[in-house]
Amino acid sequence: MYKRISAVLFPIVALFLVGTVIWGYQEHKTKNSILLKAENQYQRAFHDLSYHVEKLHTELGNTLAVNSASQGMHRKSLVNVWRLTSEAQSEINQLPLTLLPVSKTEDFLTHISNFSYKTAVRDLTKQPLSPDEMKTLKTLYENSKGISSDLQKVQEASLSNQLKWTDVEQAMASEGQGNDNTIVDGFRNVDKKVGAYPEINWGPAVASVYSKRSVKMLSGNNATPEEIKKKATEFFGDHKIVDVKVVENGAKTEYASYSAIGKRKSSNSTVHLDYTKRGGHLIRFMDTRNIGKKAISQEKALAEAKKFLEMHKYPSMEPVSYDEYDNIGSFIFVRKENGILIYPERLIVRIALDNGEVTGIEASDFEYKKHKTIKTDTKPKLTEAQAKKMLNPGLKEKYHRLAIIENDLGEPTLCYEFVGDMNGTSYRIYVNASTGMEENIEELKGTKQKSPA
């Protein structure tokens, strides 16, 4: 009997074992194939990184070598610097360095990218490279030489020792256990040196990209939790809120603020209101209630949004954009003075489309920007007809108006705003009212743009 059972089971077990061996072999083969492919990708990215950083150093040298009056060559070289820096950033992101701190190197490359791009896109015939910018380029030239040299050392070591990038993560996980982590140490050394570089004057164009909102931009004295509670309670007028609690965020820091949380009587929903500590300015409000089926039109929603702004004594505000999502209508308003739209001073009002109730406001841009002295009595040097000649002839204009936007340097700039259609798409184009230069262009999506009344 046992012999009979054995005779039946033995082939089955043998077949099972053979299948297991074949399956294991296939899995091992697949794993090795994946690792080989990953290793090839890592090697390509690393060698490309070393090559592009070396080319970056060369291109910075070319920019310094040409005559100071050669604006065309300066622009060409700076565009190449921007391109090479972008490629180097992309290659760093392709390497398995998620556990390895290379943030200083990435930040350094980002600053170079922004500096070269913003310098190249301006009109260098009217605003050539300044002595400070030439000094910055010289510093970048010297610094990039050190980075390139260190990367080449890592490259030589990895080639001579046949190091694998797929072992890098294992080396990091096994740090201190005697593993050869030449690549890891090499990148740490590069990042450490970059972090030790003296502070570089990147100029106002790059500084505007990284500038942080400061409490110094706000008016008024520091508000107390009791004052914030009173503001939140009075915010809704007849639609009072109850059980208001105030908490301080970022206490003892420059960016301290307050959050007021309570219940709205009309809907029993939770509401959140955020205020700046300095001055007690409302920067954000949100009602968490569920929104019912759409029952009001865009025109009715706009009327309710305007009524809300007037009730809370906001200055003359003009709606410039509208969008709908989940039965909530969102209007972007900007301040209007002397017939000119001031885009830096903008806020968003959200309206529930079931009953027209205001369910949110985002006013941080408005509160932090309104401190600036923006001149709206400046007359444009170009006429509307002259500015229109700068547009693509194929643009079918719907309307135009004067507006103030922030240029690449973060400076308020008077422009003609043209809205029109081209190739089935709506665009908003800002033409500098003094120079005729196109300062910005936006594709308008999702909503139909109507001519302002």
Q: Residue ranges of the domains in the chain? A: 10-210, 217-369, 384-444
Residue 128 to residue 336: CA distance in whole angstroms: 35
- For residue 427, which phi and psi values (nearest 5 degrees)? -130, 150
For the chain, the first-to-last Cα distance in angstroms comes to 99
**Do 282 and 363 contact (CB within 8 A), yes or no?**
yes
pTM of the model: 0.67
Counting beta carbons within 10 angstroms of the beta carbon of residue 411, is it exposed (0 to 12), middle (13 to 18) or buried (19 or more)?
Answer: exposed
Backbone φ and ψ for 23, nearest 5 degrees, come out as -60, -45
pLDDT given at position 448: 46
What is the Cα gyration radius of the chain? 31
User: Cα separation of 120 and 111, whole Å?
Assistant: 14
CB-hemisphere CA count at 13 Å for 188?
9
Please answer whether residues 317 and 333 qualify as being in contact, where contact means their C-beta atoms are separated by less than 8 angstroms. yes
Residue 21: the pLDDT is: 58
**What residues are paired with 409 via a beta bridge?**
none
What is 384-444's CATH topology? Nuclear Transport Factor 2; Chain: A, (3.10.450)
Please give the Cα distance from 402 to 392 (Å, whole number).
Answer: 19
Six token digits for residue 76:
């060409």
| Phi, psi angles (nearest 5°) of residue 367 | -70, -35
Q: What was the pLDDT predicted at 178?
A: 42
Calculate the average pLDDT of the chain. Answer: 82
Q: Residue 314: CB partners within 8 Å, gap ≥ 6?
A: 333, 347, 366
Q: What is the pLDDT of residue 350?
A: 95
Tokens of 51: 């090559």
Q: Of 88, 89, 60, give the one whose Cα is nearest residue 74.
A: 60
137 vs 206: CA distance, rounded Å: 14
Residue 176's pLDDT is what? 47
- Which residue positions in the chain have pLDDT lower than 70? 1-36, 38, 97-101, 168-181, 204-217, 237-239, 371-373, 445-453
Burial of 383 (0-12, 13-18, 19+ CB in 10 A): exposed
